[in-house]
Amino acid sequence: MTDTPILKPLKTWSHLATRRRKPSEYEIVSTNLHYTTDNPDAPFELSRDLPISQWFLQNRNASPVHHPDWNAFRDPDEMVYRTYNMLQDGAETYVNGLLGQFSARGHDAMLETSWATTLARLYTPLRYLFHTLQMGSAYLVQIAPSSTISNCAVYQSADSLRWLTHTAYRTRELAQSFPELGFATAERQAWEEDAAWQGFRELVEKALVAYDWAENFTAFNLVVRPAVEEAILRGLGQSGRHNGDTLLGMLCDAQLADTQRHRRWTAALVQMALTQEGNQEVLKGWIAKWEPLADAAIDAYCAALPDAPDAGSQARSAVRALRSILGL
Amino acid sequence: MPMLERADWYDIARDTNWTPKYVSQEALFPDVMTGAQGVPMAQWQSYDEPYKTSYPEYVRVQREKDAGAYSVKAALERSNIFASADPGWHSILKAHYGSLAVGEYAAMSGEARMVRFGQAPGMRNMATFGMLDENRHAQLQLYYPHDLVSKDRQFDWAQKAYHTNEWAAIAVRHTLDDLFMARSATETAIMLTFAFETGFTNMQFLGLAADAAETGDYTFASLVSSIQTDESRHAQIGGPALEVLIANGRKAEAQKLVDVAIARTWRLFAILTGPSMDYYTPIEHRKQSFKEFMQEWIVGQFERSLIELGLDLPWYWDKMIAEFEFQHHAYHLGLWFWRKTLWWNPAAAVTPECRAWLEEKYPGWNDTFGKCWDVITDNLLAGREDLTHPETLPVLCNMSQIPICAIPGNGWNVKDYPLDYEGRTYHFNSEIDRWVFEQDPVRYRDHMSLVDRFLAGEIQPPTLAGALAYMGLSPAEMGDDAHKYAWADAFRPDPLAKSAA
């Protein structure tokens, strides 16, 4: 006991102390928080052969995408809980203002019934799709190999609930203006049966069972989400503007603001993965697996959009451009 | 048209279950992660969360809450509260942050499990807020103690404890992994939110908030009471899940999960909150005894919510209530005795005045625990601090991972409750711990307690120094008596001798 080193006072957590700069609030509260990654053979302080231990060993520890130190990942936005709420409270105040102004102006009463029919078919069933995004990101929260990745997924999951909430709100408003069109009652049937949705439904059902953490990330953040954003948020928004539905376009744009943030951390994580040999092939292999499903989803949905003839091709090239910039 | 109220559209936002077509229901909700106890998805449609909120309300309210919590911290930053607080209070902060901050982060993963694998859409949405809440709690409880690492190296353990093999860290990991990290969504709803949060977090967060306000630590008081406002919301995820299980003929399964969870949670709070309330909090600032809190919150309130849900009281309820009298005193004695193995400095809190308080709150204390403290006090007065440290290993409970202990002295009831299972002998602190093991031996059988590891030769060198190194404790971090034994002076017959000590 006598030859043990004397420890100096700390300026920050010991695990950050070797860095020669002052840590940000983000680093102080976000880094190295998953203890279940510490022991590579046993995630939990229980028997090692439990099915749920095997689940983590297989889907997290044995992922074909590898890096010696995932804990080094940093969200480029350095988002923390309190800044997330400040940001999104402001964003919701804006959306609330939109909803209030358009409602006061009698917006829905001015919509053509034919467009309202399109909304019942192509807009309000979207809550199912948004909810799968919420679920998919929540899976990444619990399976990601570092807390800095999990935190990005937390806010992304919550953002998806945000979009779902806007959709539910609009669904009720539209049901009041167009009681005969099946708003608030027929969405599940559309989601489960309408040809326009089946591509997305197949894509997300399959992506939700891609349980390897890195495949979940690849499928959702590099393929599914970009497809939803480009085909639906952009395509539907555009279609809305051609049919007197300014509110829908503005709502979609408000949601697209969240996706810019998602894309920044997605790019940072891809960049980090690509520093390791072998990862690019794995990611490209997964994209090759998921892209055809996403293309089919984009095509089926966009084909049904009125007054947006190029939406499908634009969405396809936009999602490819996004991946290509990342080297994928 | 006027804007809609939340109630106008709320049900639409939680009408999101669909029937999968391109993958099987079992693949989408695998039993290992969902754990629906055989209740079909359609039956979960009746799940109705009692506390309703929505995304815009959530981000607004939480922004306001954070503005409050962080502004209190900022306002008091330059105050002298920390420096002037009793060292026992510092120990509460260190024990609290080290055992909870990263645990809250783990609970975020538990909430995420419910968001992804919960069968009820209402559960999935509420757990999304719960997941955000736990993200908040981890961040707040790392941000606050981070300011203190420059003052005292033990505060590094707020971030570090869970990453070590320090024995209390093993105990808390074993408990949390069992309650939610290694549990399905349904089990998590019951064990984490209903049993752990509804039942017990009040103890740590409201009980300690009261003591903190008394002590003058308004920063901590505002922090933990703000956290509890979130807990009391997302804790309500579990109740309706229990209702669904009971309504579908799964009461026995639900009851067992509740009984296991309460048993495990009780141990954790007995060792964490018990000594904090009855010993580390300076006597003049104690609002109530730990036992009084337990009687009010657990026996008074939680018991009622169990009955209202149609559950029975756990079979061990009376045994657990009997433990309110002694278990945390035994834990406190053990913590103080093995203080070098802690990341905080336990306050003995056994001056004559403290002992009178303990005797009043726990009649018979002097004849039992007091007998041990008599010996410790005599040794200190004789200048033999060396005799107040242990020479042997404790026997650890293979369930709680805490030393097996109970009442010493004239009320002696210390006893091992062993169990032979598949050729290995396991040791337990009580019938309750042993019963938990017996409910699911496969879950626990391979785990090695710290002492098991020591005896198996996994800890080298097999000495105290080797064990401390294995636990990650450097000499600058190891616990010592919070008051540097000054309290023993109160027992010196000659007041003049005090200065010589």
Question: What is the per-residue pLDDT across B406-452, written as a single tens digit (0 to 9) for each?
Answer: 999 898 899 999 999 999 999 999 999 999 999 999 999 999 999 99
Question: B173 and A135 in contact by Cβ < 8 A?
Answer: no
Range of the domain at B164: 29-500
All residues of chain B having their beta carbon less than 8 Å from the beta carbon of residue A161 are 55, 125, 128
Please indicate, yes or no, if residue A74 is contained in any of the structural domains. Answer: yes
Range of the domain at A194: 70-325
Q: Domain total for chain A? A: 1
Task: Closest CB to B54: pick one of A53, A55, A165.
Answer: A165
The answer to whether residue B3 is domain-embedded is no
If one counts the domains in chain B, the total is: 1
Q: What does the pLDDT average to over B305-319?
A: 95
Instruction: Please state the ipTM of this predicted complex.
Output: 0.97
Structural domain contains residue A12:
no
Instruction: Check residue A5 and give its pLDDT.
Output: 56
The answer to whether B223 touches B141, Cβ cutoff 8 Å, is yes
Burial of B65 (0-12, 13-18, 19+ CB in 10 A): middle
In a domain, B339, yes or no: yes
Which pLDDT belongs to residue B385? 96
Cβ contact A35–B162 (<8 Å): yes
Q: How confident is the model at residue B498 (pLDDT cuts 50, 70, 90)?
A: low
Domain with residue B168: its CATH number is 1.10.620.20
Distance separating alpha carbons of residues B98 and B173, to the nearest angstrom: 12
Tell me whether residue A17 is in a domain: no
Contact B59 A85 (CB under 8 A): yes
| B422 touches A at CB < 8 Å | no
Which residues of B fall within a CB distance of 8 Å from A6? 475-476
**Looking at the domain assignment, is residue B438 inside a domain?**
yes
On chain B, the residues whose CB falls within 8 A of the CB of A209 are 23, 27-28
Burial B408-424 (b: 16+ CB within 10 A, else e): bbebeeeeebebeeeee
Average pLDDT over residues B58-64: 97
Instruction: Judge contact between B200 and B272, C-beta under 8 A.
Output: no
* Nearest residue in chain A measured CA to CA from B124: A135
Is residue A62 a part of any domain in this protein?
Answer: no
pLDDT < 50 stretches in chain A: 1-3
In this complex, is the C-beta atom of B18 within 8 Å of any C-beta atom belonging to chain A? yes
* pLDDT average, residue stretch B380-405: 95
Q: What was the pLDDT predicted at A6?
A: 62
Residue A33 lies in a domain: no
* Distance between CA atoms of residues B218 and B72, nearest Å: 8
Q: Is A36 a member of any domain?
A: no
Q: What is the CATH number of the domain that holds A195?
A: 1.10.620.20
Question: Searching chain B, which residue's CA lies closest to the CA of residue A129?
Answer: B16
**Inside any domain, residue B16:** no
The B residues from 41 to 80 touching A (CB cutoff 8 Å) are 54-56, 59-60, 62-63, 66, 70
User: What is the SS3 string spanning B120-163?
Assistant: CHHHHHHHHHHHHHHHHHHHHHHHHHHCCCCCCHHHHHHHHHHH
Is residue B102 domain-resident? yes
Interface test with A, best of B23, B41, B135, B477 (most A CBs within 10 A): B135
pLDDT, tens only, B279-310: 999 999 998 999 999 998 888 888 999 999 99
Answer yes or no: are the C-beta atoms of B180 and B487 closer than 8 Å.
Answer: no
**Which member of B54, B63, B163 has the closest CB to residue A89?**
B63
Contact between B133 and B233 (Cβ < 8 Å): yes
Residue B82, token pair as written in the block: 């920390």
Picking from B31, B143, B146 by the largest number of A CB atoms within 10 A of its own CB, the best residue to mutate is B146
Q: Is B199's pLDDT higher than 90?
A: no
Would the CB atoms of B153 and A205 count as touching at under 8 Å? no
Q: What is the pLDDT of residues A53-78, one digit of tens each?
A: 999 999 999 999 999 999 999 999 99
Cβ contact B160–A13 (<8 Å): yes
Kindly state whether B10 is in contact with chain A, defined as any CB-CB distance less than 8 angstroms. yes
State residue A2's pLDDT score: 43
- The residue of chain B nearest to residue A81, with distances taken between CA atoms, is B136
In this complex, the residue of A35, A100, A201 whose CB is nearest that of residue B102 is A35
Q: Which residues 161-180 of B have a C-beta within 8 angstroms of A?
A: 162-163, 170, 173-174, 177-178
Peptide bond into B275 cis (omega under 30): no
Q: Does residue B388 carry a pLDDT above 80?
A: yes
Q: Are A35 and B4 a contacting pair at CB < 8 A?
A: no
- Please give the Cα distance from A247 to A104 (Å, whole number): 12
What is the pTM (predicted TM-score) of this model? Answer: 0.97
User: Does A208 sit within 8 Å of B23, measured CB to CB?
Assistant: yes
pLDDT for B392 equals: 85
- Residue B13 located in a structural domain: no
In a domain, residue B258? The reply is yes
> How confident is the model at residue A1, as a pLDDT?
41
Residue A146 resides in a domain: yes
Residue A38 maps to a domain: no
Which residues are within 8 A (CB) of A98 and not within 5 positions of it... i.e. 6 or more apart? A247, A250, A251, A254
Calculate the alpha carbon distances from A315 to A137, A218, A243, A305 in Å: 22, 18, 20, 13
Chain A residues 47-106 with a CB less than 8 Å from chain B: 47-53, 55, 80-82, 84-86, 88-89, 92, 95-96, 99-100, 103-104, 106
Residue B2 lies in a domain: no
Q: Is the dihedral of CA B444, B447, B452, B456 positive or negative?
A: positive
